[in-house]
Amino acid sequence: MAGLPARCCGVLLLGALAGCSANAESASPDPAPHLVKEGTLTICTSIPYEPFEFEKDGQIVGFDIDLANAVAARLHLTPAVHNLDFDAIVSGKLLNDGTCDVAVAGITITGDRARALDFSSPYFNAAQVLVVPASSSVHSLADLAGRKLAVQSGTTGETYVTDHAPSTADVVTFDDPALMADAVANGTVAAAVYDNTVVGDVVTRHPGLTVAAEFDTGEQYGMAVQKNGNVELLRVVDDVIATLKSDGGYAKLSTTWFGTAPAS
């Protein structure tokens, strides 16, 4: 499970990331990517999903946002981040109707989503975890037979629970993952399933909660662009991800937001 996230502003990291990738700026693709607005990289995300994307001091910041900002820097564009509905992002609607150029929102790459979106190469590995009260007798999904279990609507966590929880478990969906922890803490539900990448913040904010189990689901996050509509931008995204991983920029980003560099 990832370490607790550092509380740093992503804007401060952008200059470092751009510096790490300076050697590759001459490799800008030709032709140029299609853009919703000239001179701007329009970025769709969905908050709160700390530390990947969340609001701090009136700005949307986080691991994902710094990654998207690095793409904007490579293209010499001004990033414009918009907080929008997660389901509308992963369905492809917001990219395919021209609302935004690129989406980054802790989006797990799946076959169904790849039919509606064009994904970048994976940039993050994730898993699912079961969160319960520290005093709970629940230690696995099997213990939730006949009990309520919270998941975020439209996520791979919901899919995993649907496939693996007892048929008698009462699965309760939430649009806002922050409300799931409240429901566990006040006893409305017996447990909740989160991505392991954000659970550190969940238990920090709710000291009475703990992680009961972790499930290795083989999930990977990717950035996304319009389906069959912006291969030029996708090439830049892939190149930025590869460059950051090779020149140390990715390790700096990871340390900033998770308190630790990624395992080699």
For the chain, the domains span: 10-123+222-258, 126-219
At residue 239, what are phi and psi to the nearest 5 degrees? -70, -40
Within this chain, domains 10-123+222-258 and 126-219 share the same CATH topology: yes
User: Tell me: the pLDDT tens digits for 94-105?
Assistant: 999 999 999 999
**CA gap 8, 146 in Å, rounded:** 42
**CA gap 60, 219 in Å, rounded:** 25
User: Tell me: the pLDDT tens digits for 227-248?
Assistant: 999 999 999 999 999 999 999 9
Residue 136 pLDDT greater than 80, yes or no: yes
Looking at the domain covering 10-123+222-258, what would its CATH class be?
alpha beta
Residue 152, exposed/middle/buried by CB under 10 A (0-12, 13-18, 19+)? buried
User: Tell me: the pLDDT tens digits for 144-197?
Assistant: 999 999 999 888 899 999 999 999 999 999 988 889 999 999 999 999 999 887
187 vs 198, more confident: 187
- Would you state the structure tokens that stand for residue 168, as one six-digit string? 């008698």
Task: Kindly report the pTM of this predicted structure.
Answer: 0.72
CATH 3.40.190.10, applies to 126-219: yes
Four-point Cα dihedral 183, 162, 123, 88, nearest 10: -80
pLDDT given for residue 25 in this prediction? 46
